[in-house]
Amino acid sequence: MLLIALQILFFCLNEVYGSISFGEDYPLQFVPILFSLKPVVYSYTLITATFLHTGFWHLFGNVMFFLAFARTLERLFGTLVFLSAYVFIGALAFIGDWILNPNSLTPIVGSSGAVSFLMGVYLMLFPKSKLRLIITIPPFYKRFWISAYIFLLLWIGLQAYDILTDKGQSGVAYATHIFGFIVGVIAAMAWKEMAPDTDRKLGELMEKEQ
């Protein structure tokens, strides 16, 4: 809830005061060309940009995806480890768009890269779990269950398709989504290999979730 509260706070401040920053030369958004010129100086934007959003629906969508995956992962890792991983590892997702276009002047914001990181972790640790989706066509709606690995593989496939066909026209940072997802997959594999009692912890959590 702390992460959601911070994102809402930054959104409200941005709506009230306009584009907030540390100063004219130190924006909170991640700007690829600035990171290319001074990666150490502007490394903080990898984190600050995660808490900014361009509008209500941008924020709402990211919060909904966050809630779908964060609760289980926080229970598994503990609050401190979860928060640290989300902020400091998930923030690396912005590197995806930087690699694709390091000279871009377009600011990138949003928690979708960090959320994509959580999705990559979830796929590797809970591939057989079920996700409940809701399709709404007012005034009707339909609930159904889908395997996590099917949903997440379809989702990452859609991001790959969009990055090939969109060519930056929509302004959506698809490369950030893909890179965040890949970082999540790698982080989860590393945790399973190096952390103690991983199978036991996963088994205990699955029993509690059922």
**pLDDT by residue (tens digit) across 4-17?**
888 888 888 777 76
Two structure tokens written together for 198: 């991983």
Say whether the peptide bond before residue 139 is cis (omega within 30 degrees of 0).
Answer: yes
pLDDT of 144: 72
Mean pLDDT of 69-88: 92
Q: Minimal CA–CA distance to 4: which of 46, 57, 51, 55?
A: 51
163 — pLDDT class (breaks 50, 70, 90): confident
Q: Residue ranges per domain, the chain?
A: 2-209
pLDDT of 196: 83
Mean pLDDT of 44-48: 93
Q: Minimal CA–CA distance to 173: which of 67, 98, 89, 92?
A: 98
pLDDT of 177: 94
pLDDT of 169: 66
pLDDT of 111: 93
204 or 52, higher pLDDT: 52
Encode 105-155 in three state secondary structure: CCCECCCHHHHHHHHHHHHHHCCCCEEEEEEEECCEEEEEEEEHHHHHHHH
pLDDT of 22: 64
CA 108 from centre of chain = 13
Residue 132 clears pLDDT 60, i.e. is over it: yes
Residue 145 clears pLDDT 60, i.e. is over it: yes
- Cα separation, 181 vs 30, in Å, equals 18
18 — pLDDT class (breaks 50, 70, 90): low
Contacts 24+ apart (CB under 8 A), 64-71: 65/112, 65/115, 65/119, 66/3, 66/4, 66/111, 66/115, 66/118, 67/4, 68/131, 69/115, 69/118, 69/119, 69/121, 69/122, 70/3, 70/118
**pLDDT by residue (tens digit) across 19-34?**
666 666 788 899 999 9
In CATH, which superfamily holds the domain spanning 2-209?
Rhomboid-like (1.20.1540.10)
175 or 170, higher pLDDT: 175
Per the listing, tokens 């009230």 go with 16
